[in-house]
């Protein structure tokens, strides 16, 4: 879709506001072009002694009334038109946010956060201006130009009009050249701003790392370089936009020179009055606005085109995970993976290789294995953040793809490796999945996650603000708040992706005991615990060992110890390590 089609569709949907604005602009243009004609008639009347004092006052009063009408109409069209244009920004940002929300992790692996933020702000502002200010200036300038030229030609003298228009083709050629440069400069300016935005976002997120490594000066130097590049690109765009003014000035200057020359000759020959030449000169001055409007419109449209060229690919990018399912209800049932194979894009080695396992409803599955074994990838497949290239995954007898994403993810509570908390209170973060939960339910979930006592030690308790990404809490506290959030959601499937790595073994034991209690209270609820710490899965109904994306061992804790494989050796090592730490 081109920018013109985007704006055309928007104008069609809001035609009432645009028609009303156009009508008021037409009134402004009509009143404006009437002023020089009246002034020319007044001058001729005074020169011929046809106007007495009373008639002159009436004429001046009419001019004042015209000025008031123009003022009211200008205020009116601005209110109607810009209110509609701002709505385009709202619609685009809403659509863009909805598109980003529907994309999966693979999409964000290819995009920069700062660039996405720049698109949602700076670029959409440019498109909004093309739909508002450019539409206004284009209509007003075109209407004024047509009316002024018509009156100059038909109402004053066609010969003067013809001579005055001689320099205009050169101005049109200059506008065409300038607009092409503006498009290139605007694209560069938007991209430079996005790069600057991305650097600022990364620096603020990683400010503690920068300080710990002593990289503040290097980061500041990089920021200065990017800021200078962004400023330079913006300046080049503004310089090309400013080139419209000299082109207009030279054109109108040449037109005025030719007009005065021919007009003086016609007055000398008695074929034109001084009042007519005065009116024509004033009309020529009124052409300044249409010419400037043309330059302004071209500049805004080129900036809008450059912005839309950056935004459109992301707005129309296919979803990394299709959401074409139709099932909106999901009853607790067995979760079955049948020869599932998944490979990340561009990699030869599969992250999951021929995985087959079954988890009956109400049971707990433990996933263990060395780093990079495929534990987190398996959870992503269950969440449909990744789509396997081979094999199938069914839940309650239906393929995962048959469920809508909202239904599937509503039935799963997931605690990732890096717990994310929002800039809100602890209570609000815990109740994220159930905004209507009571304080008692929130506190119960916190107690089950072994974070209740820590929260009560804060001066504001559950009303304590955690700061951006939970910066005021420790890593273990963030993990336990995230676990409490998952427990409060009371979903059919609980996924813990190494979510106990930042807590001590005593706290881990308490949380696991509480999870077992909750499982008994709700028999149909299943859980999958991925962990490097084997003690976290020792009580699971089934433990699966993954290595290089393959299942190498599976069974109960006792069976795996008896098999004396990787699991048994790792268990002995971790138990020895724990005993040494305790000593």
Residues 196-214: tens digit of each pLDDT: 877 777 777 677 677 777 7
Task: Report yes or no: 278 and 235 within 8 Å, Cβ to Cβ.
Answer: no
The per-residue pLDDT for 40 is: 63
The per-residue pLDDT for 286 is: 65
Q: Which of 303, 35, 16, 292 is nearest to 142 (CA)?
A: 292
Banded pLDDT at 273 (limits 50, 70, 90): low
- The length of the chain in residues reads 583
Interhelix angle 244-268/168-205, rounded to 10 degrees, is 160
Task: Report yes or no: 157 and 280 within 8 Å, Cβ to Cβ.
Answer: yes
* Cα–Cα distance measured from residue 195 to residue 199, given in angstroms and rounded to the nearest whole number: 6
SS3 content of the chain, % helix, strand, coil (to 5): 65, 10, 25
The per-residue pLDDT for 415 is: 85
Beta bridge partners of 551: 546
Which of 263-277, 349-363, 505-519 comes out lowest in average pLDDT? 263-277
Coil, strand or helix: which one is 246? Answer: helix
Beta bridge partners of 493: 412, 526
Which residues, other chains included, contact 59 with Cβ-Cβ below 8 Å and sequence gap of 6+? Answer: 38, 42, 51
Mean pLDDT of 238-250: 75
The per-residue pLDDT for 48 is: 64
Q: Which of 371, 344, 369, 342 is nearest to 354 (CA)?
A: 342
Name the most confidently modeled range: 158-172, 178-192, 400-414, 542-556.
Answer: 542-556
Which of 144-148, 185-189, 193-197, 456-460 comes out lowest in average pLDDT? 144-148
Q: Report which secondary-structure segment, H or E, holds 273.
A: none
Higher pLDDT among residues 342 and 154, named by residue: 342
Beta bridge partners of 545: 368, 553
Going from the C-alpha of 268 to that of each of 47, 153, 195, 261, 456, the distances in angstroms are 16, 20, 65, 11, 97
pTM metric for this prediction? 0.68
The per-residue pLDDT for 581 is: 63
Task: Report yes or no: 322 and 346 within 8 Å, Cβ to Cβ.
Answer: no
27: exposed, middle or buried (Cβ count in 10 Å: 0-12, 13-18, 19+)? middle
Q: Is the pLDDT of residue 302 over 70?
A: yes
Higher pLDDT among residues 564 and 490, named by residue: 564
CB environment 437-463: b (16+ within 10 A), e (fewer)? beeeebbbbbbbbbbbebbeebeeebe
Q: Is the pLDDT of residue 46 over 80?
A: no
CB environment 205-228: b (16+ within 10 A), e (fewer)? eeeeebeeeeeeeebeeeeeebee
Higher pLDDT among residues 388 and 150, named by residue: 388
* Cα–Cα distance measured from residue 405 to residue 37, given in angstroms and rounded to the nearest whole number: 68
Coil, strand or helix: which one is 553? Answer: strand
* Cα–Cα distance measured from residue 36 to residue 145, given in angstroms and rounded to the nearest whole number: 14
Name the most confidently modeled range: 54-63, 181-190, 344-353, 371-380.
Answer: 371-380
Tell me the pLDDT tens digit for each residue of 394-404: 888 888 888 88
* Cα–Cα distance measured from residue 392 to residue 401, given in angstroms and rounded to the nearest whole number: 10
Mean pLDDT of 51-64: 71
The per-residue pLDDT for 106 is: 74
Mean pLDDT of 213-228: 79
Q: Is the pLDDT of residue 582 over 60?
A: no
Per cent of the chain over pLDDT 90 is 1
What is the 3-class SS of 399-463, one letter each residue?
A: EHHHECHHHHHHCEEEECCCCCCCCCEHHHHHCCCCCCCCHHHHHHHHHHCCCHHHHHCCCCHHH
The per-residue pLDDT for 301 is: 82
- Can you list the pairs that 211-218 forms with residues at least 24 positions away whose Cβ atoms lie under 8 Å? none
Q: Is the pLDDT of residue 425 over 80?
A: yes
Tell me the pLDDT tens digit for each residue of 125-178: 888 888 777 777 777 677 777 776 777 676 666 677 777 777 777 777 877 777
Mean pLDDT of 240-244: 75
Going from the C-alpha of 218 to that of each of 169, 199, 203, 230, 492, the distances in angstroms are 53, 12, 11, 18, 49
The per-residue pLDDT for 33 is: 66
Going from the C-alpha of 296 to that of each of 8, 134, 242, 244, 463, the distances in angstroms are 19, 7, 10, 8, 52
The per-residue pLDDT for 150 is: 72
Task: Report yes or no: 390 and 340 within 8 Å, Cβ to Cβ.
Answer: yes
- Start-to-end CA distance of the chain, whole Å, equals 69
Domains of the chain listed by start with CATH number:
3-315 (1.20.1560.10), 325-411+491-583 (3.40.50.300), 416-490 (3.40.50.300)
Q: Is the pLDDT of residue 254 over 70?
A: yes
> Phi then psi for 79, rounded to 5 degrees?
-65, -45
The per-residue pLDDT for 155 is: 62
Tell me the pLDDT tens digit for each residue of 554-570: 988 889 888 888 988 88
The per-residue pLDDT for 289 is: 67
The per-residue pLDDT for 278 is: 66
Rg of the chain, C-alpha, whole Å: 36
- At which residue do the structure tokens 């999409």 appear? 107
The per-residue pLDDT for 291 is: 73
The per-residue pLDDT for 322 is: 76
Sign, CA torsion 555/558/561/566: positive
Per cent of the chain over pLDDT 70 is 86
The per-residue pLDDT for 157 is: 67
Beta bridge partners of 338: 392
Q: Is the pLDDT of residue 80 over 80?
A: no
């Amino acid at each position: 879709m081109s920018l013109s089609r985007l704006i055309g569709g928007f104008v069609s949907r809001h035609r009432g506001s645009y028609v009303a604005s156009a009508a008021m602009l037409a009134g402004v243009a009509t009143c404006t072009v009437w002023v020089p004609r009246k002034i020319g008639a007044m001058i001729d009347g005074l020169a011929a002694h046809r106007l007495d004092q009373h008639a002159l006052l009436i004429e001046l009063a009419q001019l004042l009334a015209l000025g008031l009408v123009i003022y009211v109409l200008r205020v009116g069209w601005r209110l109607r038109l810009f209110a509609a244009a701002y709505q385009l920004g709202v619609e685009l940002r809403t659509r863009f946010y909805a598109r980003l929300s529907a994309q999966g992790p693979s999409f964000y692996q290819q995009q920069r956060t700062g660039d996405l933020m720049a698109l949602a702000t700076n670029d959409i502002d440019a498109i909004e201006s093309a739909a508002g200010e450019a539409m206004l200036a284009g209509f007003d300038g075109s209407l004024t130009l047509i009316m002024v030229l018509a009156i100059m030609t038909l109402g004053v003298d066609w010969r003067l009009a013809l001579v005055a228009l001689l320099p205009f083709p050169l101005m049109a050629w200059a506008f065409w050249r300038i607009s092409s440069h503006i498009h290139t400069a605007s694209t560069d300016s938007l991209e430079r701003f996005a790069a600057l935005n991305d650097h600022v976002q990364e620096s603020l997120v990683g400010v503690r790392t920068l300080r710990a490594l002593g990289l503040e000066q290097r980061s500041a130097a990089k920021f200065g370089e990017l800021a200078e590049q962004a400023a330079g690109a913006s300046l080049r765009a503004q310089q090309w936009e400013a080139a419209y003014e000299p082109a207009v000035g030279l054109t109108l200057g040449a037109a005025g020179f030719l007009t005065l020359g021919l007009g003086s000759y016609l007055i000398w020959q008695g074929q034109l009055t001084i009042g007519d030449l005065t009116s024509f000169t004033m009309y020529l001055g009124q052409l300044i606005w249409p010419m400037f409007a043309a330059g302004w419109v071209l500049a805004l449209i080129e900036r809008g085109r450059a912005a839309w060229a950056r935004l459109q690919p992301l707005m129309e990018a296919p979803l990394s995970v299709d959401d074409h399912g139709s099932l909106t209800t999901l009853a607790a049932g067995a979760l079955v993976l049948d020869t599932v194979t998944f490979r990340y894009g561009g990699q030869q080695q599969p992250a999951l290789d021929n995985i087959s396992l079954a988890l009956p409803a109400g049971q707990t599955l433990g996933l263990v294995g060395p780093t990079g074994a495929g534990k987190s990838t398996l959870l992503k497949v269950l969440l449909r953040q990744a789509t396997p290239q081979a094999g199938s995954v069914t839940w309650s007898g239906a393929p995962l793809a048959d469920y809508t994403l909202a239904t599937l993810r509503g039935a799963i509570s997931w605690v990732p490796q890096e717990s994310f908390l929002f800039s809100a209170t602890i209570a609000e973060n815990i109740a994220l999945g159930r905004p209507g939960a009571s304080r008692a339910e929130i506190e119960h979930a916190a107690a089950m996650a072994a974070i209740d006592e820590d929260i009560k030690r804060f001066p504001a308790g559950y009303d304590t603000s955690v700061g951006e990404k939970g910066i005021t809490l420790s890593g273990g506290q963030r993990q336990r708040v995230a676990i409490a959030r998952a427990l409060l959601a009371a979903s059919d499937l609980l996924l813990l992706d190494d979510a106990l790595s930042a807590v001590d073994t005593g706290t881990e034991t308490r949380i696991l005991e509480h999870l077992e209690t909750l499982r008994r209270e709700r028999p149909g609820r299943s859980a999958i615990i991925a962990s490097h710490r084997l003690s976290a899965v020792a009580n699971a109904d089934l433990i699966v060992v993954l290595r290089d994306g393959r299942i190498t061992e599976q069974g109960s804790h006792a069976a795996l110890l008896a098999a004396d494989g990787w699991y048994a050796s790792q268990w002995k090592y971790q138990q020895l390590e724990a005993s040494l730490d305790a000593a």
